[in-house]
Amino acid sequence: MWIARCLAALLAVVVATTSVSAQEFPNKPIRVIVPTAPGGMADILARYFAQKFGEKTNQPVIVENKTGAGGVIAADYVAKAASDGYTLYIGFHATNAILPTLDPKLPYNPAKDFAPILHIANLPNVLVVNSKVEAKSVKELVELARAKPGALSYASQGIGSSGHIAGEQFRLLTKTDIVHVPYKGAAPALQDLIAGRVAMMFDIVPFALQHIRDGSVRGLAVAAPERVPVLPDIPTMAEAGYPGVQGGAWFALFAPAGTPPAIIDLLNKAGREAFNAPDVREKLEPRGVVLVLGSPAELGAWVAADTERWAKVIREAGIKLE
């Protein structure tokens, strides 16, 4: 009986402490860890959040870029940080959904080491072909690939990139023989696509948008559930007859696992307010960024589904890191 009363008292203290800390949060600077260099999409999103949340709370929100190892250094740093809401992470498809399958020696567990806060944005892939490729639709491209096995090549941003895995997903689902040509980044891959050295590529809408508009590449379909507002005339993969081809880049806000739910909810609300601000939307949406802004639970479900989808493709295609 005495032990039970002690445990109950201890629990009451823990609950009270958590409640007070959540009510007082934040009372010191917050750091948002970004896994990529300044100027990239993760960095841009982090700085919008930092600006808006800092203005609201009168607390400094510091964006810290920790680059290296494809985002692993930053992700591992946050995974091992204190669970108090003062160290946050802009996670993305690579560190939180693709690498768990590609890298068995990953030093963190995305499913266990992070608390989901806010799914900020999707940057859907768009299937683009060189302007001189005969195919004017996905159906025609598949027919061309089947008529000339091994003749069509597709560029990617590198081994294990979203463009690479999307290309393999396309190859598997369409049962075509297309050849992967990896590059060191999206820019050189897109340059070679425009020059005609490769036939096709899956690239995110913000990178491909201007080239589609000026006619240097032809957009055939977006790998998203719905059409992208900045490319209203380009059908979805489902509309083109291949609903299984889905994917692209995504970015989300995470905290270390064990962060109090009240703080998670506060950060989720603050994030939704920040990215719903008209001045933020008018800068992001014209670039092809699709703002999501759901609940922590919805982000958790999204990451789990994305991890499962890419794990299946990685295993079936036999993709391995070099």
- 115 closest CA partner among 155, 74, 87: 87
- For residue 26, is the peptide bond before it cis, meaning its omega torsion is within 30 degrees of 0? yes
Which CATH class, in words, describes the domain spanning 27-122+248-317? Answer: alpha beta
Query: Looking at residues 183-201, what average pLDDT do you find?
Result: 96
pLDDT averaged over the chain?
92
> 6: pLDDT confidence band, cut at 50, 70 and 90?
very low
- pLDDT (0 to 100) of residue 303: 97
pLDDT number for residue 2? 46
Q: Where in the chain is the domain with CATH 3.40.190.10?
A: 124-222
Tokens (6 digits) for 102: 């590609």
Mean pLDDT of the region 214-234: 96
Q: Which amino acid is at 267?
A: L
pTM over 0.85: yes
Structure confidence at residue 286 (pLDDT): 96
- Which CATH number describes the domain made up of 124-222? 3.40.190.10
pLDDT of the residue at 22: 63
| CA-based R_g, the chain, Å | 22
pLDDT of residue 155: 97
The pLDDT value given to residue 207 = 94
- pLDDT, residue 8, reads 46
Q: What pLDDT, on the 0 to 100 scale, is given for residue 19?
A: 45
Distance CA 260, CA 298 (A): 18
Predicted confidence (pLDDT) at residue 33 exceeds the cutoff of 60: yes
Q: Are 185 and 98 in contact (CB under 8 A)?
A: no
| Least confident window among 11-25, 107-121, 122-136 | 11-25
Q: What mean pLDDT do residues 140-148 have?
A: 97
d(CA 70, CA 249): 14
- pLDDT > 50? residue 1: no
DSSP code at position 95: I
- In this predicted structure, the answer to whether residue 51 has a pLDDT above a threshold of 60 is yes
Residue 321 has what pLDDT?
A: 84
What b/e readout covers 116-147, taking b as 16+ CB neighbours within 10 angstroms?
Answer: bbbbbbbbbbbbbbbeebebeebeebbebbee
Q: What is the mean pLDDT of residues 180-191?
A: 95
Please, where in the chain does CATH 3.40.190.150 lie? 27-122+248-317
For 72-78, what is the mean pLDDT? Answer: 97
As a whole number, mean pLDDT of residues 120-147 equals 97
With a pLDDT cut of 90, the percent of the chain lying above it is 91
Which band of pLDDT confidence, cut at 50, 70 and 90, is reported for residue 12?
very low
- Average of pLDDT values for 108-123? 97
Q: Quick one: pLDDT band at residue 21, thresholds 50, 70, 90?
A: low
